A and B are shown apart, each in its own frame.
Chain A
Amino acid sequence: MVRALIAGLGLAIIAAPLGCFVVWQRMAYFGETVAQAGLIGVALGLALQMNLTLGVMLIAIVIACLLLWFSRQKAVPLDSILGLLHHAALASGVIAISMIGGPPVDLIGFLFGDVFAITREDLVWIFAGGCIVLAVVAWLWQPLLRLAVHEELAAAEGVDRERVRTVFIILLAVAIAVAMKIVGILLVMAFLVVPAVAARPLAGTPERMVVLTASIAAGSVLAGLWLSATVDSPGGPSIVIVMSAVAGLSLTLAALKRRH
């Protein structure tokens, strides 16, 4: 339980800035597609007998870069490509896993996370990955913000949008790979996006929004794990339910306030 808590809180902090950027740049579907490809990474890891988190991370980075490349061409709209790959990736992953011999794989665990099965090694991954992600985000904060506010203006004023974008999606892929342990492939984007959505109406500056997002996510982790322990519901989904409730409340209050 303690490990689950530490993992969840650590992840809440890592996911906060990334989730905010995903919401600001309206990239949720993009992230979702990368997450679905995670299952292929699991299959790869099992087949090659390598560390699974590493396998997922590598595949996630490859897919993310591929999607970024797709987003630059004008022939097919990105949304169509995501729609296609999103489902194809998940299907391929499930098939790949079923083809691999050996002991039966806990598919549900990968799809929805297995937060209470977090090991010490997982914590190391989360901590190490988290430090790198947060450090890079802090370093690239200004250019990322400028690109999110107005991409063309930022590019015209000298921001290297290709490089910054590429670094961002790599960070996103790393975070997705790490978060998969806790909330699973299908809910990992929720972990990033929902707290940010909840925080938006309450924030007046981007920094405040990141802090609020982290707080809401952390609080949801605590409440969600408590709920899970109390009513014996799955850990990851319980956390996401709490996050969703908070977001629903926040948006409703904001809408009511606007009426006046």
Chain B
Amino acid sequence: MGDREGRISPGAEGVHGHSRAQGHDLSCRPDARAKSVHPFDPGALISARGLGMSRNGRDLLNDVDLDIFEREIVTLIGPNGAGKTTLVRVLLGLEKPDSGEVRRCKDLRVGYVPQRFDIDSVIPMTVARFLMLGGHEPPERVTAILSEVDASYTRDQQIAELSGGELQRIVLACALLRTPNLLVLDEPVQGVDYTGEAELYNLIGRLRDTHGFGVLLVSHDLHIVMAKSDRVICLNRHVCCSGMPETVAQHPAYVRLFDAEAARAFAVYRHHHDHSHDIAGHAHPVGEGDAEDTSAQGGSRV
């Protein structure tokens, strides 16, 4: 784990993969970009280096390095406008970055659960038909996948009549049908209640354990992540920090506040930044003493 951390991110040492020769504050300024020194990882499902993208003069991504391996769950967090969805789209090949490169392993199959999947109610289609659209899936496989995501009862319903949560399960089933080795979920628990969130996290964990694929989960929550996350990456146009979460199951105060059962699904991620961001997203270095404080504040200062 520690090996991977050092490779992808600056976080543990508070530097963005740049050379630290010039002193601690040089690397925090967006204009002091140095080439990433780390080579692509051939063992990774997806390996990205130096991703950069800007639109209308605003930086969306700034020198982002990332690796995702099989069997690991990576949670990507960051404030609104941090570039999380942009990064996902670049990794998936839906958008081209202005700089940097993404290398994908040879037989990469991605199952993608997008953030907004307003499947048009104008098309008449049952859930079963929707799932069989992609390839040449036998009906038995569709039934099996539906039961894996706890949505068997929706099989013959029209997709136009599904609730938001049901639709999400169906899109997840669709992603699973491709037997992916990488599952990408973009903010799957946005707008979901507490127990729904725990259930979904448990489901994703179960699926990962059963199928062994890698998972990239984008979350809008800056502090609470899926307990089974192997790694958390904090993104605000560039990688601010990364590390492992702490489970809350051991914290009696948390368990007392919330349901013990559900608490097992969550973990807390503690940020460790050597810089802060203003509203516009520009990074500013802070002194060593301030580093701990930034994680306690909400909003754009991550």
Contact = CB atoms under 8 A, between A and B. Distances in A.
Given A153-B114, A205-B125, A208-B124, 9 more contacts: A24-B120, A24-B122, A149-B119, A149-B130, A152-B94, A156-B93, A157-B112, A200-B122, A205-B126
Interface centre among B94, B123, B130, B158 (most CB of A within 10 A): B123
Contacts of B133: 142, 145-146, 149
Contacts of B123: 24, 145, 148-149, 206
Contacts of B112: 152-153, 156-157
Q: Closest 9 CB pairs between A and B?
A: A156-B112, A203-B124, A24-B123, A24-B122, A146-B133, A204-B124, A156-B92, A209-B124, A150-B119
Nearest to A212: B124
Contacts of A152: 94, 112, 114
7 contacts: A24-B123, A145-B123, A153-B114, A157-B112, A157-B178, A206-B123, A206-B124
Interface centre among A148, A149, A203, A204 (most CB of B within 10 A): A149
Interface centre among B110, B120, B126, B133 (most CB of A within 10 A): B133
Interface residues of A, number: 21
Contacts of A23: 122
B126 A156 contact: no
B134 A204 contact: no
Nearest to B122: A24
A146 B120 CA distance: 11
B157 to A, nearest CB: 11
Interface string B123-150: 1111001100110000000000000000
A63 to B, nearest CB: 25
A87 interface: no
Contacts of B130: 149
B51 interface: no
B117 interface: yes
A152 B93 CA distance: 11
A205 B112 CA distance: 25
A200 B124 contact: yes
A155 interface: yes
A153 B178 contact: no
B126 A153 contact: no
B53 interface: no
B113 to A, nearest CB: 9
B158 A150 contact: no
A68 to B, nearest CB: 18
B102 interface: no
B171 interface: yes
B226 interface: no
B117 A153 contact: yes
Interface string B248-266: 0000000000000000000
B239 interface: no
